[in-house]
């Protein structure tokens, strides 16, 4: 099939207004951290973007002290109406600087500019706007007539949606009157530090939000402070492995915990589904953000009678995806976030072949520099293969087949994870029956990877507990 | 329970206190029993001392019952829970005597305690077809999608029942677990075990499907670690575990990211139960579908 030629349409890097160096934001001030200064890398070309001064143990203590002072003082005493107005300010400021933030995000993360521009940044702004409105209405949220904040929320977020995850964490915490110590991921600190500028410019009282760039040791230090009683709640988004470590660390302590962990979602296509739409949904499900999405539809379960036809269509569609420079507005699939992640994707994909599955990758020319992986799918996959069980967190789809709805349910639920699932069929009663039986926190029917601030998100089983988004998302930050 | 009778002419028929697993009343596979005494230290009976294997059997039976019970309609579950209240009410004097012996309550207080337990089933029976309306709803997303959230049962809940309140405490932690569609493996009060065993007989005559509740008597310190680490248990209620022993169980529970409930300060079982316990062992599921023609 002939490919339409596209001339490059690069977004301007200057829009990001990158600074040579970035600092932690503690007690209302930007200052050098006591950790190391590290370079953050553009994964699309492996060049350094900026230097980031990482936080150290002392900075964690200072941030916690500042957050405590704010929780007990200026922020704790503020009315819900005024708290909400600060959040509205942040929402507006993110929208105002949306283009800048989108470019920062794409440079630091490697995701296509059209995704950061059309998904990450608008949703981050919308999330603040949504929770802003809750701040003076908490008595109506169904958690008692006058719910109280917990105190300090320690928040640890991943690198796949850096700004959006910061918004998911900070907005509900502030709306409910908590203060925040947040650690962005080590490979993607920049957008959170631009958000810190926005928060500073919004005149939030010092200590209400503290942002500490750093590696796993800083995440562990934040969890330790919670175990010691200095932090009241931990909210973590990341791997199930680390989630379990945190759950153990907080055992026997009064600290509250919410976990949003890994997934291995089934995307189930019945023979009566509109296959063209399903193909688009499958592509969105696993190749969106290079598949680096905890709720990615990484296991395609297709009814046997349409499997061959669907796979042909899918391969044809994947061959038209444009893989390459994330800053090009035409790019569909950008860079993998880090060399380490690329190595993990390679290792698991190799295991797929070694265990007997058949690999197919879209023919595409990958850039010579940077961390890239072509859209890939595996057929002849059995449920015992690692690529059908483990979270790959990359643009790799494992295709399995089924004959009956019961078999589809059994296979879909045959995983320790339970974050999301997809169903494609034209039959309404079947959609509702499948949605009932799928053990997953989010079920997308005839769509996939939709997100909204009003819509609760979170997992069953080893995908974690607690919900983010919507009225339900308030509960994780309220004492009751 | 060997009720001490004043009429010497007839020997009472004593009950063997056994476990309740999968709708049946087996002895412990281990053959072990332990003495249970009243509040004055007088022997009441020998109760079954459940083993790790009994616990695994109980979990298997609870897992097998999840599909049927969780998919039963709220109306149906409500009728079963109400039926439990009916059966309990029919035996309230017996339970009052057992509770009085176990907890050392005066007869009137014991009867009030049993009545509160009966009313608790009535209370939760009414929740079964209402909780989803209170905890769920539609979400007004910014796009052409119909989006709703519903509470769903978490699955198999391991319940360590309160040690102090043999019947009312047990009922207060168990009823909300069942009302939201979960199945349960319950470790009864260790020292005040007999009312729980008799209560299992009530469950067995209340149209409750086999396996929905499995009740074990025995040593909490021996059984709770197996319950906490069992990979097929989804959630854990540690109400009946003394605070110092909770940490190790929470660590074990992290192995499969169990939802663990640690009660806040003890408010007593007489208090209005409110809505809080209904939410402990539910998951919120959110479903999206496009709106179009």
Using an 8 Å CB-CB cutoff, list residues of chain B that contact chain A. Answer: 71, 134-135, 137, 139-143, 145, 147, 149, 154, 234, 246-248, 250-251, 253-257, 259, 276, 283-290
CB pairs under 8 A between A and B: 105
Q: CA gyration radius for chain B?
A: 20
Q: Do B285 and A461 touch (CB under 8 A)?
A: no
Does B17 fall in a domain?
no
What's the pLDDT score for residue B19?
98
Q: What's the average model confidence in pLDDT over B47-74?
A: 98
Does B196 fall in a domain?
yes
Q: Are residues A107 and A62 in the same domain?
A: yes
Catalytic residue list of A = 260, 294
Confidence of residue B265 (pLDDT cuts 50, 70, 90): confident
pLDDT tens track for B19-48: 999 999 999 999 999 999 999 999 999 999
What percentage of residues in chain B have a pLDDT greater than 70?
97
Task: Name residue A258's beta-bridge partners.
Answer: A235
**A chain contacts of residue B181, beta-carbon cutoff 8 Å:** none
Does B104 fall in a domain?
yes
**B chain contacts of residue A457, beta-carbon cutoff 8 Å:** 286
Give the pairing of strands A25-26 and A29-30. antiparallel
CA B159 to chain centre: 6
Domain count along chain B: 1
The CATH number of the domain holding residue A441 is 3.40.309.10
What's the pLDDT score for residue B4?
58
Does B15 fall in a domain?
no
Does B80 fall in a domain?
yes
Average per-residue pLDDT for chain B: 96
pLDDT tens track for B228-250: 999 999 999 999 999 999 999 99
Average per-residue pLDDT for chain A: 97
- ipTM, two decimals, is 0.97
Please answer whether residues A318 and A362 qualify as being in contact, where contact means their C-beta atoms are separated by less than 8 angstroms.
yes
Q: Are residues A289 and A438 in the same domain?
A: yes
Chain B: residue whose CA lies nearest to A451:
B141
Confidence of residue B2 (pLDDT cuts 50, 70, 90): low
Q: Are residues A232 and A276 in the same domain?
A: no
Cα-based distances in Å from A82 to A139, A287, A428, B175 = 16, 41, 45, 42
Q: Are residues A285 and A271 in the same domain?
A: yes
Distance from C-alpha of A3 to C-alpha of B69, rounded to nearest angstrom: 54
**A chain contacts of residue B288, beta-carbon cutoff 8 Å:** 442-445, 447, 450, 455
Chosen for mutation from B148, B285, B292, B293 (greatest number of chain A CBs closer than 10 Å) is: B285
Please answer whether residues A458 and A465 qualify as being in contact, where contact means their C-beta atoms are separated by less than 8 angstroms.
yes
Q: Do A458 and B247 touch (CB under 8 A)?
A: no
What's the pLDDT score for residue A352?
98
Domain count along chain A: 2
The CATH number of the domain holding residue A114 is 3.40.605.10
Q: Do B288 and A252 touch (CB under 8 A)?
A: no
Chain A: residue whose CA lies nearest to B289:
A445
Residue A76, exposed/middle/buried by CB under 10 A (0-12, 13-18, 19+)?
Answer: middle
Which stretches of chain A drop beneath a pLDDT of 70? 1-4
Chain B: residue whose CA lies nearest to A244:
B254
Does A206 fall in a domain?
yes
Does B1 fall in a domain?
no
Chain B: residue whose CA lies nearest to A460:
B283
Q: Are residues A100 and A225 in the same domain?
A: yes
Q: What's the average model confidence in pLDDT over B102-107?
A: 97
Q: Do A443 and B255 touch (CB under 8 A)?
A: no
Does A452 fall in a domain?
no
Domain that holds residue A156: 13-261+460-479
Can you give the pTM of this predicted structure? 0.96
Q: Which of A248, A261, A443 sits opposite B287 (nearest CB)?
A: A443
Does B145 fall in a domain?
yes
Q: Is the pLDDT of residue B266 over 90?
A: no
Domain that holds residue B260: 33-290
The CATH number of the domain holding residue B130 is 3.40.605.10
Does B47 fall in a domain?
yes
Does A5 fall in a domain?
no
Does A251 fall in a domain?
yes
Confidence of residue B7 (pLDDT cuts 50, 70, 90): low
3-state secondary structure of A188: coil
The helix (run of H) or strand (run of E) holding residue B260 is strand B259-261
């Amino acid at each position: 099939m002939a490919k339409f030629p596209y001339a490059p349409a690069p977004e301007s890097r200057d829009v990001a207004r990158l600074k040579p160096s970035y600092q932690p934001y503690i007690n209302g001030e930007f200052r050098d951290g006591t950790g190391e200064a590290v370079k953050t890398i553009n994964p699309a070309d492996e060049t350094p973007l900026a230097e980031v001064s990482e936080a150290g143990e002392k900075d964690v203590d200072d941030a916690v002290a500042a957050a405590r002072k704010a929780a007990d003082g200026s922020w704790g005493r503020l009315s819900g109406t005024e708290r909400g107005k600060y959040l509205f300010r942040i929402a507006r400021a993110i929208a105002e600087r949306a283009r800048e933030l989108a470019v920062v995000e794409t440079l630091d993360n490697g995701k296509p500019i059209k995704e950061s521009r059309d998904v990450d940044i608008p949703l981050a702004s919308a999330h603040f706007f949504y929770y802003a409105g809750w701040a003076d209405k908490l008595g109506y949220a169904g958690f008692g007539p006058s719910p109280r904040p917990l105190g300090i929320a320690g928040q640890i977020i991943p690198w796949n949606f850096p700004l959006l995850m910061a918004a998911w964490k900070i907005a509900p915490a502030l709306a409910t009157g908590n203060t925040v110590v947040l650690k962005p991921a080590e490979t993607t600190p920049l957008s959170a530090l631009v958000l810190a500028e926005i928060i500073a410019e919004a005149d939030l009282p010092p200590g209400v939000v503290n942002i500490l760039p750093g590696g796993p040791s800083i995440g562990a230090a934040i969890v330790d402070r919670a175990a010691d009683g200095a932090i009241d709640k931990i909210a973590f988004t990341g791997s199930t492995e680390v989630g379990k470590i945190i759950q153990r660390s907080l055992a026997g302590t009064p600290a509250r915990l919410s976990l949003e962990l890994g997934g291995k979602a089934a995307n189930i296509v019945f023979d009566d589904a509109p296959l063209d739409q399903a193909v688009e949904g499958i592509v969105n499900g696993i190749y969106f953000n290079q598949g680096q999405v905890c709720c990615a539809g990484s296991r395609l379960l297709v009814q046997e009678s349409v499997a061959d036809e669907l796979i042909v269509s899918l391969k044809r569609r994947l061959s038209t995806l444009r893989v390459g420079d994330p800053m090009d507005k035409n790019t569909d699939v950008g860079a993998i976030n880090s060399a380490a992640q690329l190595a993990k994707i390679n290792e698991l994909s190799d295991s797929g072949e070694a265990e007997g599955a058949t690999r197919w990758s879209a023919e595409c020319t990958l850039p010579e520099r940077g961390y890239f992986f072509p859209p890939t799918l595996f057929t002849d996959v059995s449920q015992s293969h690692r690529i059908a069980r483990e979270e790959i967190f990359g643009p790799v789809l494992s295709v399995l087949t089924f004959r009956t709805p019961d078999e589809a349910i059994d296979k879909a639920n045959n995983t320790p994870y339970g974050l999301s699932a997809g169903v494609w069929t034209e039959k309404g009663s079947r959609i509702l029956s499948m949605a009932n039986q799928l053990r997953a926190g989010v079920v997308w029917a005839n769509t996939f990877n939709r997100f909204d601030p009003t819509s609760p998100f979170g997992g069953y089983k080893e995908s974690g507990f607690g919900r983010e988004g919507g009225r339900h998302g308030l509960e994780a930050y309220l004492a009751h | 329970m060997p009720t001490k009778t004043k009429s010497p002419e007839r020997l009472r028929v004593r009950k063997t206190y056994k476990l309740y697993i999968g709708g049946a009343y087996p002895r412990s596979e281990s053959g072990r029993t332990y003495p249970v005494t009243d509040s004055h230290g007088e022997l009441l009976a020998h109760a079954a001392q459940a083993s790790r294997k009994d616990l695994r059997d109980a979990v298997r039976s609870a897992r097998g019952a999840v599909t049927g019970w969780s998919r039963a309609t709220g109306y149906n579950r409500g009728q079963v829970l109400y039926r439990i209240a009916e059966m309990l009410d029919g035996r309230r004097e017996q339970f009052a005597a057992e509770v009085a012996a176990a907890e050392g309550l005066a007869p009137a207080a014991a009867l009030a305690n049993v009545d509160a337990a009966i009313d608790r089933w009535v209370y939760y029976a009414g929740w079964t077809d209402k909780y989803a309306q209170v905890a769920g709803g539609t979400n007004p997303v910014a796009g052409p999608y119909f989006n709703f959230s519903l509470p769903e049962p978490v699955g198999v809940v391991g319940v360590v029942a309160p040690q102090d309140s043999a019947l009312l405490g047990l009922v207060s932690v168990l009823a909300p677990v069942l009302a939201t569609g979960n199945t349960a493996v319950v470790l009864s009060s260790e020292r005040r075990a007999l009312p729980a065993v008799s209560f299992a007989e009530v469950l067995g005559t209340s149209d409750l499907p086999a396996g929905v509740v499995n009740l074990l008597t025995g040593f909490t310190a021996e059984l709770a670690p197996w319950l906490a680490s069992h990979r097929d248990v989804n959630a854990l209620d540690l109400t009946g575990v003394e605070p110092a022993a909770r940490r190790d169980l929470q660590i074990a529970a992290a192995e499969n990211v169990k939802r663990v409930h640690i009660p806040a300060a003890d408010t007593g079982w007489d208090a209005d139960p409110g809505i809080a316990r209904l939410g402990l062992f539910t998951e919120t599921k959110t479903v999206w579908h496009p709106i179009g023609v």
